[in-house]
């Protein structure tokens, strides 16, 4: 069975799953059927306990009418915390950033920008939501997705690009964002490696095989696996600053960002504001594709995740965007959990809801020399 078919099956198997307001009489047995879950007898006892605990949390949260978001049941509702953590990985500030450049407009009218509703999906430059499965490869998904968008902006050609090539072919000797492969990495490392290799292949010519959590050897060869897009360079915006990120999303394109996603697993809809802002743990790489203002709950960032279209709002989450986003800061005291290198600082300051302003990357793309 191909990786693509696995993704399709994962997405379609949960179309009949209940929404948050339909869970009053919902049971673990319903969950097994809705999500086609298969367990051994011993494992089933553990999964049932985890699910029932999560279901109680969901019902309690949704009874609180002061919350601006709802949580619900999804394919992750029977996972342990260590299994959920394995899905995450991030973009570290400890890595040298190639050619960082940001030239601020002399006068940025933030109020004018903030009033806009920006969604790069509507411009036809964002591919369909993907599913990383049981591999800790959010870093390669965020990298492939941001390159997809910038190549489409440049050429008008939108194609799903190979997360597996990034996963297989990106060394990580300094253990930045993890140990490499399904063990984690960074968008910066990935973009630099793609530049070295001379391009990134499509999903179809170098398909995703690590859905189950296995690592594979690099077999990228331009003669047999032609590159579709290349990275000429990559850039970053000033860390923990609101205006540059807002301006870039408004006028240039999506951005690969790092966030604390520790409380995201059960998100279903609404404007999320449930992160630990005192000690956020930056541990996940995702794609920021826009921002807007919710009629009921106010400003938000629009973020694409890689946990399938069955998660959240068809694979997306709206994260609260505040009037004082740049001043909403905390200290990540465990940067090695997701974004630190082995010789990096013991703690880092991160700002924005879920640390959304902390670190980011976007590519300069070009056509491969062979095209």
Residues tagged active-site: 138, 284, 305
Neighbouring CB atoms inside 10 A of 8's CB total 12
Give the whole-angstrom CA distance, residue 325 versus residue 240.
Answer: 9
Q: Give the alpha-carbon dihedral of 10, 54, 33, 315, to 10 degrees.
A: -20
The label of the residue with tokens 């069955």 reads 310
Give the whole-angstrom CA distance, residue 256 versus residue 369.
Answer: 25
Q: Which of 92, 96, 87, 95 is nearest to 335 (CA)?
A: 92
Give the whole-angstrom CA distance, residue 211 versus residue 113.
Answer: 39
Give the whole-angstrom CA distance, residue 129 versus residue 307.
Answer: 8
Joined together, the tokens standing for residue 328 give: 């909403």
Q: Which of 303, 322, 321 is nearest to 259 (CA)?
A: 303
How do beta strands 316-320 and 267-272 pair?
parallel
How do beta strands 360-366 and 255-259 pair?
antiparallel
C-alpha count within 13 angstroms, C-beta hemisphere, residue 196: 12
Joined together, the tokens standing for residue 361 give: 């990357």
Contacts of residue 8, defined as CB under 8 A and 6 or more positions apart, other chains included, come to none
Give the whole-angstrom CA distance, residue 137 versus residue 267.
Answer: 20
Give the whole-angstrom CA distance, residue 317 versus residue 303.
Answer: 5
Give the whole-angstrom CA distance, residue 176 versus residue 111.
Answer: 37
How do beta strands 230-235 and 360-366 pair?
antiparallel
Joined together, the tokens standing for residue 8 give: 């399709």
Q: Is 97 helix (H, G, I), strand (E, B) or coil?
A: coil
Q: Any bridge partners for residue 301, and if so which?
A: 291, 319
């Amino acid at each position: 069975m191909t990786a693509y078919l696995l993704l399709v099956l994962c997405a379609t198997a949960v179309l009949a799953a209940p929404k948050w307001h339909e869970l009053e009489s919902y049971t673990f047995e319903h969950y097994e059927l809705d999500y086609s879950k298969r367990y051994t007898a011993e494992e089933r006892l553990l999964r049932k306990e985890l699910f029932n605990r999560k279901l109680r949390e969901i019902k309690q949260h949704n009874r609180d009418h002061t919350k601006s978001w709802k949580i619900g049941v999804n394919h992750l509702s029977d996972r342990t915390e260590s299994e959920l953590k394995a899905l995450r990985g991030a973009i570290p500030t400890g890595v040298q950033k190639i050619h960082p450049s940001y030239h601020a407009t002399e006068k940025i009218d933030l109020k004018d920008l903030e009033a806009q509703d920006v969604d790069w999906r509507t411009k036809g430059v964002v591919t369909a939501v993907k599913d990383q499965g049981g591999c800790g490869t959010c870093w390669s998904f965020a990298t492939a997705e941001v390159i997809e968008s910038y190549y489409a902006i440049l050429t008008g050609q939108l194609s799903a690009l190979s997360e597996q090539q990034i996963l297989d072919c990106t060394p990580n000797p300094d253990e930045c964002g993890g140990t490499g492969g399904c063990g984690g990495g960074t968008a910066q490392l990935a973009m630099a490696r793609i530049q070295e290799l001379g391009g990134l292949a499509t999903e179809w010519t170098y398909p995703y095989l690590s859905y189950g959590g296995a690592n594979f050897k690099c077999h990228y060869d331009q003669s047999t696996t032609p590159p579709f897009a290349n990275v000429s360079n990559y850039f970053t915006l000033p860390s923990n600053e609101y205006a540059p990120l807002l301006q870039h999303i408004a006028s240039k394109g999506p951005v690969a960002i790092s966030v604390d996603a520790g409380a995201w697993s059960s998100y279903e809809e609404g404007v999320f504001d449930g992160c630990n802002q005192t000690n956020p743990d930056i541990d996940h790489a995702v794609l920021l594709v826009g921002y807007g203002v919710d009629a009921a709950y106010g400003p938000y960032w629009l973020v694409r995740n890689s946990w399938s279209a069955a998660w959240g709002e068809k694979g997306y989450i709206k994260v609260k965007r505040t009037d004082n986003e740049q001043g909403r800061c905390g200290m990540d005291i465990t940067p090695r959990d997701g974004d630190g290198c082995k010789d990096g600082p013991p703690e880092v300051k991160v700002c924005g809801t879920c640390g959304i302003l902390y670190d980011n990357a976007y590519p300069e793309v070009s056509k491969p020399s062979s095209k």
